[in-house]
Structure 1
């Protein structure tokens, strides 16, 4: 099954929805440079607060090359989400191929100290379809 450009996963009450879009104005296909933006919305649908500590992305290009990105927080922040709260941000990804996919996890911790990995379901990095 092909991944879609939008994905949603819910782990322990944390809903993560991601939408990607191709940035033609920042891409240079002749130089094998393809750029996408992706917008992530993290919503706490659970009954207790949670804080995002770190991220782990797995990025796969059309040739099967895998790149892993790990680090603290997202866009320089470690959002703390009370029940019902959301946090949204946009970031980017560059590949040497015209398509690929991303997936991953956010390492979360509840106020009571319990930790868990919130799943980021696979979403596609694809060029938009055009009709000639």
Structure 2
């Protein structure tokens, strides 16, 4: 599990390699990741946008930006949380992801919440020990 707190918003990520959706012989590797967003602050906030930076094992970077998450722009009252699961394919057996959410307070103040960097590991990656 990976966790990061920004401005009293806790983001927890749990990635899982999806063997059944991967085809290593064709250079296709798939992961799911479960994210929990928890508002530990004192003000109601809304998640409006997302930005991801996905890096494969060759160093190729793919950026993704868009509105909300899984078709939603959740509103989080103090003490509330929101969970969702999404996925990421890569052409390599490992990589990592990092990102941020664009949030806004009830008063209309925009701010960014950092998503912790997390690794996408599979049993097909070559491990080199120095």
TM-score (norm 2): 0.93
Count the aligned residue pairs: 124
Post-superposition Cα deviations, 1:38-88, rounded to whole Å, max 9, x if no partner, equal: 000000000101000000000000000000000000000000000000000
Paired position in structure 1 for 2:84 = 89
Q: Structure 1 unaligned segments of length 5 or more: list them.
A: 1-5
Paired position in structure 2 for 1:105 = 100
> What is the rounded CA distance, in whole Å, between the counterparts of 1:10 and 1:114 in structure 2?
18
Paired position in structure 2 for 1:3 = none
> What is the rounded CA distance, in whole Å, between the counterparts of 2:62 and 2:2 in structure 1?
20
Paired position in structure 1 for 2:49 = 54
> What is the rounded CA distance, in whole Å, between the counterparts of 1:128 and 1:111 in structure 2?
45
Instruction: Report 1:10-29 matches (<5 A).
Output: 10-29=5-24
Aligned Cα root-mean-square deviation (Å): 1.0
SS at match of 1:123: strand
SS at match of 1:77: coil
- Deviating 4+ runs (over 2 angstroms): none
SS at match of 1:48: coil
> What is the rounded CA distance, in whole Å, between the counterparts of 2:31 and 2:105 in structure 1?
32
Q: Structure 2 unaligned segments of length 5 or more: list them.
A: 125-130
TM-score (norm 1): 0.92
Aligned-pair CA distance for 1:128: 4.6
